[in-house]
Amino acid sequence: MEVLRSQHHIGDFRGRFRALGAAFAAAFAVLGLRLWQLQVVQGEQYSSLSAQNSLKEREIPAPRGIVYDATGNHLAEVRPAFDVVLTPSEALPEGAEPELGPTGLARKLPIDVLAQRLGGLLSLPAEEIVQRWGLARGGSRYRPMVVRGDVSPEELARVEARRAFLPGVEVRVTSRRYYPHGGLFCHLIGYLREVRSDELEKLRARFQGTPFGEDHYQIGDLIGKWGIEGAFEKELKGRDGAYHVLVDAMGREVGRSLEGTPGSDYVESLRHLLLGNNRHEVPGADLHLTVRLELQRLAMDLMGDESGAVVVLEVHTGRVLALVNAPTFDPQIFAGRLPPDLWKKLSTDPAHPLADKALQGIYPPGSTFKMVVAAAGLADGAVSPETTFHCNGFFKLGKRRFRCWKWKTGGHGAVDLHSAIVGSCDVYFYQLGRILGFDRVAHYARGLGLGGPSGIGINSERGGLLPDSAWKERTGRGRWQVGDTISAVIGQGYTTATPMQMAVMTAAIANGGKVYRPYVVEYALDAHGEEIYRAHPFPVTRADVSERHLALIREAMLGVVEEAGGTAKRSRIPGFPYAGKTGTAQVVAQGKGGLSSSAPKRLQDHAWFVAFAPYEDPEIAISVLVENGAHGSTAAAPIARALVEHYYRDRIAEARTARAGAAAAEDADGPSDGVGD
């Protein structure tokens, strides 16, 4: 104890304490200087880097607009779904070394490694994921790309279980298109498909510099490709929103930039909110169509197993009430990966379910074209209503004989314009066509809406063919011959039309000569309920035929249904007169004996029927085509009759009640004594 208290040893310890204190002071000075450098000198730089590392953008997919029929029924809507997405910037190029996090798990993986892991969970080829990642990097590297949309519950569970080993991969809650009526409206409404790589550059260029931005579409996004979905893609798509989240080193979310959720975990996120980096999603606009669900369903049911089309439209507006194509397909199958075997089945089906027969199918119009020829003859002064030709079943031109459909029974005898339409006499129109020449017929046909697309604006509508002498020479087919006219005036030969064109033509005859552009979208409302689009009746042209002459055509069409010699007399509706015209269009050349009824169905004639109703004050026009249906009177006319009966069921019921009441009153009064005023 004495030694420790010696003055010598106490001095030694004081020196050591001073040295130790100086060392601590120096260390704290260095730390203080470094802290000052980091906090003050480089604070802004590191704050920015920290924000970039800890804040991630999450998309809020905008729901697609709903499509309604004319009475408010949903024709296309949305349902909840899950997408597996990958942010391109969160994956490394092929062959790169993984970036490890503090726990030893990878924060970033090379895309080839990540694709192998993810492809196995989603049954996707790894090469496809790598390719999609490469394309997505060409746009916004920070916008998630869809690896697989609308995953099944099993796929979702597999991905979630392996999330820790899939850096950059997220499961996003979204919505998917749903068609509650299956294929009933598949050709009209259309379908969605994933954006293809060859489309992406065009879409980026299209939206560059717009409020939507060049990354409005990304690989894996869905885009309308047919029907209304394609024609009104801009209105239906909407605009995706986004919010920012605070994530930890493993990418797990620990905070969101949402209003009303204060707390220390949200400080950085709220800073981004205040800076305006959040975007609210804007749902797509809702479309209200002109078509009616119950009429569409009835028309489809009436087609049964047949292939063809039905068009119903209003004669004074062009508003389409039904647009049916048969057979149909399920539009839902195009939203994801389409199995090759299913695509082969659809594309090779002889009934062509993928084809829009109403707008793209071009067929010889057959005898439904005879009203056009009759109108041309009257307007041009070639014939009068009383002009008569004799039909013995044949028309001789040089050494050739052209048959009338009634050739086996000796023809129609003496026929005027009215009886020629009622009985569909071919010989009458052979004679009239020879007098007119087909160039004049073509002129009047164009005025009735034939020879070009109707203008409905969907599905790359085709316009059929209205030939004339200039067309034949221009296409290298030589000079127009009288024989060409003989075939053309009965709707055969080069003459073709679509079911939509025939409906437009029939409507023009019914309304006094106005050709209206048909339309299927009545109006559109944005997410705030504001009207952003409304269609209006648009008369395209007017027939160069007087109302007096069109009235004669309408009267003859009434006779087709109402008179004993009418070709559609079996489709008459007692007490409710309507007008129509049957047609039969040859598919193959027929021999002297005609086509046998036992011939294969694919060789049978196409069956047509066009109609308007009611006869007095017409409101609707109908066009029915049954492919290989053999006869318009038996295959197509009954369909039109059933549609008229349904559409006017209340009026027909009233007429029948009134008729029954009148009959009862007559029976009660007893027989008349024949004495009048």
The more confidently predicted of residues 279 and 93 is 93
pLDDT tens, position by position, 647-664: 999 999 988 888 777 766
Helix 370-380 with 438-447: angle, nearest 10 deg? 100
Measure CA 408 to chain center. 47
pLDDT tens, position by position, 306-363: 999 999 999 999 999 999 999 999 998 887 777 888 889 999 999 999 999 999 999 9
pLDDT tens, position by position, 429-477: 999 999 999 999 999 999 999 999 999 999 999 999 999 999 999 999 9
Instruction: Give the SS3 label for residue 20.
Output: helix
Fold of the CATH domain 291-365+498-671: Beta-lactamase (3.40.710)
For the domain made up of 366-449+464-494, the CATH class stated in words is alpha beta
Residue closest to 136 by CA, chosen among 193, 201, 84, 81: 201
Mean pLDDT comparison of 120-134, 273-287, 322-336, 610-624, highest-scoring range: 610-624
**What pLDDT, on a 0 to 100 scale, did the predictor assign at position 243?**
74
The domain ranges of the chain are 56-288, 291-365+498-671, 366-449+464-494
- Beta-carbon count within 10 A of 211 CB: 7
**Does the structure show a pLDDT above 70 at 135?**
yes
**What pLDDT, on a 0 to 100 scale, did the predictor assign at position 255?**
57
**Does the structure show a pLDDT above 80 at 268?**
no
Q: Which of 24-28, 192-196, 200-204, 269-273 has the lowest mean pLDDT?
A: 269-273
Distances (CA, A) of 461 to 250, 268, 352, 518, 541: 53, 54, 16, 12, 19
**What pLDDT, on a 0 to 100 scale, did the predictor assign at position 376?**
97
**Does the structure show a pLDDT above 90 at 28?**
no
**Does the structure show a pLDDT above 90 at 524?**
yes
**What pLDDT, on a 0 to 100 scale, did the predictor assign at position 596?**
56
In sequence order, what are the residues at sequence separation of 6 or more whose Cβ sits closer than 8 angstroms to the Cβ of residue 417?
Answer: 374, 377, 378, 383, 384, 385, 387, 428, 552, 556
Q: What number is the average pLDDT over the span 84-103?
A: 85
* Length of the chain, in residues: 677
Do the beta carbons of residue 514 and residue 542 sit within 8 Å?
yes
Q: For 127, list phi and psi in degrees, rounded to 5.
A: -65, -35
**What pLDDT, on a 0 to 100 scale, did the predictor assign at position 676?**
35
Measure CA 346 to chain center. 17
Using 50, 70 and 90 to split pLDDT, how confident is the model at 7?
Answer: low
**What pLDDT, on a 0 to 100 scale, did the predictor assign at position 598?**
66
Q: What number is the average pLDDT over the span 245-259?
A: 58
**Does the structure show a pLDDT above 60 at 642?**
yes
Using 50, 70 and 90 to split pLDDT, how confident is the model at 671?
Answer: very low
For the domain made up of 56-288, the CATH class stated in words is alpha beta
**Does the structure show a pLDDT above 80 at 544?**
yes
The more confidently predicted of residues 248 and 173 is 173
Residue type present at position 431: Q
**Partner residues linked to 57 by β-bridges:** 244
**Does the structure show a pLDDT above 70 at 594?**
no
Using 50, 70 and 90 to split pLDDT, how confident is the model at 100?
Answer: confident
Do the beta carbons of residue 170 and residue 144 sit within 8 Å?
yes
- Helix (H) / strand (E) element for 638: namely helix 637-647
Q: What angle do CA 319, 324, 325 make, to 5 degrees?
A: 140
Using 50, 70 and 90 to split pLDDT, how confident is the model at 61?
Answer: confident
- Radius of gyration of the chain measured on its C-alpha atoms: 38
**What pLDDT, on a 0 to 100 scale, did the predictor assign at position 460?**
93
Residue closest to 480 by CA, chosen among 442, 445, 452: 442
Residue closest to 487 by CA, chosen among 505, 503, 472: 472
**What pLDDT, on a 0 to 100 scale, did the predictor assign at position 41?**
65
Q: For 380, list phi and psi in degrees, rounded to 5.
A: -85, -10
Q: For 262, list phi and psi in degrees, rounded to 5.
A: -75, 165
Q: What number is the average pLDDT over the span 95-122?
A: 86
**What pLDDT, on a 0 to 100 scale, did the predictor assign at position 262?**
45
| CA 129/CA 173 separation, integer angstroms | 20
In sequence order, what are the residues at sequence separation of 6 or more whose Cβ sits closer than 8 angstroms to the Cβ of residue 53?
Answer: none
**Does the structure show a pLDDT above 80 at 188?**
yes
Q: Which of 169-183, 256-270, 631-645 has the lowest mean pLDDT?
A: 256-270
Do the beta carbons of residue 113 and residue 98 sit within 8 Å?
yes
**What pLDDT, on a 0 to 100 scale, did the predictor assign at position 198?**
79
**What pLDDT, on a 0 to 100 scale, did the predictor assign at position 3?**
47
**What pLDDT, on a 0 to 100 scale, did the predictor assign at position 407?**
87
Q: Which of 70-74, 144-148, 205-209 has the lowest mean pLDDT?
A: 205-209
**What pLDDT, on a 0 to 100 scale, did the predictor assign at position 457?**
94
Using 50, 70 and 90 to split pLDDT, how confident is the model at 554?
Answer: very high
Look at the alpha carbons of 340, 345, 346, 352 in this order and tell me if their dihedral is positive or negative. positive
**Does the structure show a pLDDT above 70 at 67?**
yes
| CA 599/CA 323 separation, integer angstroms | 30
- State the chain's mean pLDDT as an integer: 86
**What pLDDT, on a 0 to 100 scale, did the predictor assign at position 51?**
46
Q: For 506, list phi and psi in degrees, rounded to 5.
A: -65, -40
- Cα within 13 Å of Cα(580), Cβ side: 34
- Whether the domain at 56-288 and the domain at 366-449+464-494 fall into the same CATH topology: no
- Beta-carbon count within 10 A of 449 CB: 30
Q: Which of 118-127, 272-281, 513-522, 602-611 has the lowest mean pLDDT?
A: 272-281
| CA 545/CA 552 separation, integer angstroms | 11
**What pLDDT, on a 0 to 100 scale, did the predictor assign at position 117?**
92
Q: What number is the average pLDDT over the span 118-145?
A: 85
Helix 370-380 with 426-436: angle, nearest 10 deg? 40
In sequence order, what are the residues at sequence separation of 6 or more whose Cβ sits closer than 8 angstroms to the Cβ of residue 623?
Answer: 309, 310, 311, 499, 500, 502, 503, 506, 608, 609, 610
**What pLDDT, on a 0 to 100 scale, did the predictor assign at position 11?**
58
**What pLDDT, on a 0 to 100 scale, did the predictor assign at position 531?**
96
| CA 438/CA 369 separation, integer angstroms | 12
* DSSP structure string for 30-94: HHHHHHHIIIIISHHHHHHHHHHHHEEEEEEPPPPPPEE-TTS-EEEEEEEEEEEEE-GGGEEPT
Using 50, 70 and 90 to split pLDDT, how confident is the model at 2?
Answer: very low
How much of the chain, in percent, has pLDDT values that exceed 90? 57
537-573 burial code (b ≥16 CB/10 A, e <16): eeebeebebeeebbebbbbbbbbbbbbeebbbbebbb
- Beta-carbon count within 10 A of 105 CB: 13
Q: 200: which 2 tokens?
A: 């992406």
Do the beta carbons of residue 504 and residue 515 sit within 8 Å?
yes
**What pLDDT, on a 0 to 100 scale, did the predictor assign at position 1?**
45
| Greatest CA separation for the chain | 164
Q: Which of 266-270, 396-400, 544-548 has the lowest mean pLDDT?
A: 266-270
**pTM listed for this prediction:** 0.83
**Does the structure show a pLDDT above 90 at 627?**
yes
**What pLDDT, on a 0 to 100 scale, did the predictor assign at position 674?**
37
